[in-house]
């Protein structure tokens, strides 16, 4: 698959087949993704690949935290502490509405909405979850580097016929994840990512979120 096709076909998948991803395929994905650029070649990424029994155990812990209503305690602010800029907030709201409309879940049906959200914590049933960590002294520049690394993983996975979903939700309870996987308390849990094979029959994978035209976010100077 060429880069153009991978860029267009990559999407956040929220239903996966019950089909394991071979370890050598995951190694291949990471082997290519490690060539992503980073400031002064710092390569700030640390990756935990979680599958099988360990994934099942961790999934249960995260689901329990969600069901118990434990407050989210991310290691950093993913969204603004104050009000989100209006245009960005509108896109955020539209994204959620598009998903629930595809599932035919009404805004008033809180039970079904919560049940769908809970699937975040089991990586939507993907056979593998990747957790991404960073040194606590790193700053915003390293998060930029991390974004390029994450995109490289997703594009490489797409080129190999796999599907992904990058997830901030998997970093909402960092201490649970760190304890389960044996990472130090002070390391930063950046995010997680579901990895597997798309269930193309599930309606939740049937829609695509729109993208702004180049003219709306670009100015040319000459």
The rounded percent of the chain whose pLDDT value lies above 70 is 100
Q: How far apart are the first and last CA of the chain?
A: 35
Mean per-residue pLDDT, 179-193? 98
207-217 exposure pattern, b = at least 16 Cβ within 10 A, e = fewer: eeeeeeeeeee
As a whole number of angstroms, the distance between CA 4 and CA 8 comes to: 6
pLDDT at residue number 146: 98
Count of beta carbons in the 10 Å neighbourhood of residue 192: 26
Q: How confident is the model at residue 11 (pLDDT cuts 50, 70, 90)?
A: very high
pLDDT at residue number 122: 98
pLDDT tens per residue, range 200-214: 999 999 999 999 999
Which CATH fold would you assign to the domain 3-217?
A: NADH Oxidase (3.40.109)
The residues, any chain, with a CB within 8 Å of residue 144's CB and separated by 6 or more, are 39
41-45, 105-109, 142-146, 159-163 — which is least confidently predicted?
A: 105-109
pLDDT tens per residue, range 46-62: 999 999 999 999 999 99
Mean per-residue pLDDT, 88-102? 95
Mean per-residue pLDDT, 134-150? 97
Q: How confident is the model at residue 151 (pLDDT cuts 50, 70, 90)?
A: very high
pLDDT at residue number 167: 98
Q: Which residue has the tokens 């599932």?
A: 103
- Could you tell me if 191 and 12 are in contact, meaning their C-beta atoms sit under 8 angstroms apart? no
Q: Average pLDDT, whole number, for the chain?
A: 97
The residues, any chain, with a CB within 8 Å of residue 165's CB and separated by 6 or more, are 12, 13, 14, 123, 124, 126, 193, 194
Q: How confident is the model at residue 108 (pLDDT cuts 50, 70, 90)?
A: very high
């Amino acid at each position: 698959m060429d880069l153009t096709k991978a860029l267009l076909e990559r999407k956040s998948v929220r239903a996966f087949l019950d089909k394991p991803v071979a370890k050598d395929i995951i190694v291949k994905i990471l082997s290519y993704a490690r060539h992503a650029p980073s400031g002064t070649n710092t390569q700030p990424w640390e990756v935990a690949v979680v599958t099988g029994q360990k994934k099942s155990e961790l999934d249960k812990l995260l689901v329990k935290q969600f069901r118990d209503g434990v407050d989210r305690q991310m290691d950093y602010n993913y969204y603004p502490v104050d009000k989100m800029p209006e245009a960005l907030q509108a896109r955020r709201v539209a994204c959620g509405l598009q998903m629930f409309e595809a599932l035919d879940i009404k805004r008033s049906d809180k039970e079904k909405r919560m049940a769908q959200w809970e699937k975040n914590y089991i990586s939507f049933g993907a056979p593998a979850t990747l957790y991404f960590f960073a040194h606590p002294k790193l700053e915003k520049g390293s998060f930029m580097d991390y974004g390029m690394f994450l995109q490289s993983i997703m594009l490489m996975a797409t080129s190999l016929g796999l599907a992904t979903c990058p997830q901030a939700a998997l970093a909402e309870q960092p201490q649970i994840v760190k304890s389960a996987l044996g990472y130090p308390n002070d390391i930063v849990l950046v995010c997680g990512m579901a990895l597997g094979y798309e269930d193309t029959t599930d309606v939740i994978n049937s829609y695509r979120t729109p993208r702004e035209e180049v003219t709306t976010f670009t100015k040319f100077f000459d």
